[in-house]
Amino acid sequence: MTKIRVLVIDDAVVVRRIVSDVLAADAELEVVGTAANGKIGLAKIPQVNPDVITLDIEMPEMDGLETIVEIRKLYPRLPVIMFSTLSERGATATLDALARGANDYVTKPANVGSVAAAQQSLRDQLIPKIKALCSKSELSNPVLARSLPAKKTVQPVPKIQPISQARPSSAMQSAISILTIGVSTGGPNALCEILPAIPKDFPVPIVIVQHMPPMFTKLLADRLDKQSQIRVHEGAVGDAVLPGNAYIAPGNYHMVVKRDGAKTVLALNQAPPENSCRPAVDVLFRSVVDLYGAGTLGVILTGMGQDGLRGCERIREANGQILAQDEESSVVWGMPGFVAKAGLADEILPLHQIALNIVRRVQKIPSTIEAKRIVASCT
């Protein structure tokens, strides 16, 4: 069996040892080198030919942000997972690293009480992400790590029988009353492409689950708000759900929509995780369908796992509409892959076409040229 080769770059000796021990204990992984800063790490890449790199953000001499820029110049397809502290500074740096080309991130175990707890945290967070990002078909050929385009990975998708109910024609489909989006790995960059392309007068509200911890979701919402013509907020209890506004579920809380008299508002809860996630896409999608039925447009973007699959089944049963990101443009084709293979999506689209299709469907624009003009005017 070909093992996944991992290079660990971190200035802390203790962290390098804990990460190395955790990874080495997995039969599918092999730590082929460690480095105390980005400069040393860059020199080691051609020596050890890693399949994936774990990269600390705060390091002396060459930090993680500088290092990811250099890695992307030389190795556009080499997966990189950032190590981040669970702090405002760490969250800001992580979003910067993702914007510079990092594939994913994990938060460093902090205040977990013991080395054993720290190790378990890494097993739960880091190992699944390494395996999802590494396509084993390419492991024996490190030269591929230098080639374009950026590396994409596909998660195994089981055979799921599509719902047999016939799809109504586009002319018969209900007007869209709300847009709901589910996304995970690769999501911040995907959202940074879609939301700034939505026009200011967008006639329906947008509700989003991006799998991220607390504080990260607030900073992501603030960043997107500055880049977009619509307003983007981190969701809060009692927020009125309004057209031309997007609401991102806060980390560690499920977000749902509910009626409050004549208004639709947001509610948050800390019910058990679903699909190992809180917030969970399925939780949000179910609540949206309960209120909006066939007026729901669901969009499933890049991400690990299958969160959103059951929610899309509910949208499909209600005769709502579903778009899924395609394999080639996804960082990990897990979430959209499950929806696509289940036969639930109306269209499976590359990322750069999703905003255009959202605008066309919501505003019922028959002309692709006109829809392109609206989207282009936003950017």
Query: Is residue 163 situated within a structural domain?
Result: no
Query: Is residue 296 situated within a structural domain?
Result: yes
Q: Which residues, including other chains, have CB under 8 Å from residue 167's CB and lie 6 or more apart? A: 346
Torsion-angle region of residue 112: left (phi > 0), alpha (psi -120 to 50) or beta?
A: alpha
Question: Is residue 72's pLDDT more than 90?
Answer: yes
Active site residue 184: yes
Share of the chain above pLDDT 90, in %: 76
pTM, rounded to two decimals: 0.88
Q: What angle do CA 360, 366, 371 make, to 5 degrees?
A: 45
Question: Is residue 332's pLDDT more than 90?
Answer: yes
Instruction: Determine the pLDDT at residue 148.
Output: 46
DSSP string, 36-75: SSHHHHHHHHHHH--SEEEEESS-SSS-HHHHHHHHHHH-
Question: Is residue 137's pLDDT more than 90?
Answer: no
Q: What is the mean pLDDT of residues 121-128?
A: 90
Structure-model confidence comparison of residues 121 and 196, the more confident one: 196
Q: Which of 165, 50, 25 is nearest to 34 (CA)?
A: 50
Alpha-carbon distance of 246 to 233, in angstroms, equals 6
Pick the catalytic residue: 211, 228, 326, 330? 211
Q: In angstroms, how far is CA 334 from the centroid of its own chain?
A: 10
Instruction: Determine the pLDDT at residue 136.
Output: 43
Question: How many other CB atoms sit within 10 Å of the CB of residue 210?
Answer: 24
In this structure, are strands 263-269 and 254-260 parallel, antiparallel, or unpaired?
Answer: antiparallel
Q: What Å distances lie between residue 168 and 25, 53, 318, 319, 338, CA to CA? A: 52, 47, 11, 7, 22
Instruction: Determine the pLDDT at residue 107.
Output: 87
Q: In angstroms, how far is CA 280 from the centroid of its own chain?
A: 12
Q: Is residue 131 within 8 Å of 154, Cβ to Cβ?
A: no
Residue type present at position 57: I
Same-domain check for residues 341 and 208: yes
Q: Is residue 224 within 8 Å of 210, Cβ to Cβ?
A: no
Same-domain check for residues 138 and 241: no
The model's confidence at residue 371, banded by pLDDT at 50, 70 and 90, is low
Instruction: Determine the pLDDT at residue 370.
Output: 64
**Whether the bond into 279 is cis, omega within 30 of 0:** yes
Pick the catalytic residue: 56, 282, 307, 326? 307
CATH number at residue 122: 3.40.50.2300
Domain termination site, one of 86, 116, 151: 151
Same-domain check for residues 44 and 112: yes
CATH number at residue 317: 3.40.50.180
Q: What is the mean pLDDT of residues 186-203?
A: 96
Q: What is the distance in angstroms between the CA of the first residue and the CA of the last residue of the chain?
A: 47
The 8-class DSSP code of residue 107 comes to E
Query: Is residue 253 situated within a structural domain?
Result: yes
Using one digit for the tens of pLDDT, what is the confidence trace for 103-112?
999 988 765 5
Question: Is residue 138's pLDDT more than 50?
Answer: no
Instruction: Determine the pLDDT at residue 172.
Output: 55
- Helix, coil or strand: residue 330: coil
Query: Is residue 161 situated within a structural domain?
Result: no
Query: Is residue 244 situated within a structural domain?
Result: yes
Question: Is residue 249's pLDDT more than 80?
Answer: yes
Same-domain check for residues 79 and 189: no
Q: Is residue 335 within 8 Å of 301, Cβ to Cβ?
A: yes
Alpha-carbon distance of 312 to 236, in angstroms, equals 24
Same-domain check for residues 86 and 216: no
Instruction: Determine the pLDDT at residue 167.
Output: 54
Residue in the block written with tokens 């255009």:
356
Q: Which residues, including other chains, have CB under 8 Å from residue 367's CB and lie 6 or more apart? A: none
Active site residue 10: no
Using one digit for the tens of pLDDT, what is the confidence trace for 199-240?
999 999 999 999 999 999 999 999 999 999 999 999 999 999
**Whether the bond into 79 is cis, omega within 30 of 0:** no
Structure-model confidence comparison of residues 370 and 147, the more confident one: 370
Query: Is residue 214 situated within a structural domain?
Result: yes
Same-domain check for residues 145 and 183: no
Q: What is the mean pLDDT of residues 331-341?
A: 95
Same-domain check for residues 219 and 290: yes
The model's confidence at residue 244, banded by pLDDT at 50, 70 and 90, is very high
Using one digit for the tens of pLDDT, what is the confidence trace for 149-183?
554 455 554 444 444 344 555 545 789 999 999 99
Q: Is residue 182 within 8 Å of 299, Cβ to Cβ?
A: yes
Active site residue 114: no
Query: Is residue 46 situated within a structural domain?
Result: yes
Question: Is residue 143's pLDDT more than 50?
Answer: no
Instruction: Determine the pLDDT at residue 84.
Output: 86
Same-domain check for residues 186 and 145: no
Instruction: Determine the pLDDT at residue 150.
Output: 52
Domain termination site, one of 151, 186, 203: 151
Q: Is residue 134 within 8 Å of 216, Cβ to Cβ?
A: no
Q: Is residue 224 within 8 Å of 191, Cβ to Cβ?
A: yes
Question: Is residue 378's pLDDT more than 70?
Answer: yes
Using one digit for the tens of pLDDT, what is the confidence trace for 293-317?
999 999 999 999 999 999 999 999 9
Average pLDDT of the chain, as a whole number: 88
Residue in the block written with tokens 């021990």:
21
Tokens representing 155?
Answer: 């998660």
Instruction: Determine the pLDDT at residue 225.
Output: 98
Same-domain check for residues 120 and 265: no
Domain tally for the chain? 2
Same-domain check for residues 135 and 191: no
- b or e along 145-163 (b: 16 or more beta carbons within 10 Å of the residue's beta carbon)? beeeeebbbebebeeeeee
Q: What is the mean pLDDT of residues 178-195?
A: 97
Pick the catalytic residue: 121, 177, 184, 287? 184
Q: Which residues, including other chains, have CB under 8 Å from residue 67's CB and lie 6 or more apart? A: 9, 38, 39, 41, 42, 55, 59
Q: Is residue 155 within 8 Å of 304, Cβ to Cβ?
A: yes
Please report which helix (H) or strand (E) contains residue 191, including its range: helix 187-194
Tell me the residue range of the domain where 59 lies.
4-151
Residue 76: φ, ψ to 5° = -60, -25
Same-domain check for residues 242 and 140: no
Alpha-carbon distance of 133 to 52, in angstroms, equals 8
Same-domain check for residues 334 and 226: yes
Query: Is residue 158 situated within a structural domain?
Result: no
Question: Is residue 375's pLDDT more than 50?
Answer: yes
Instruction: Determine the pLDDT at residue 147.
Output: 45
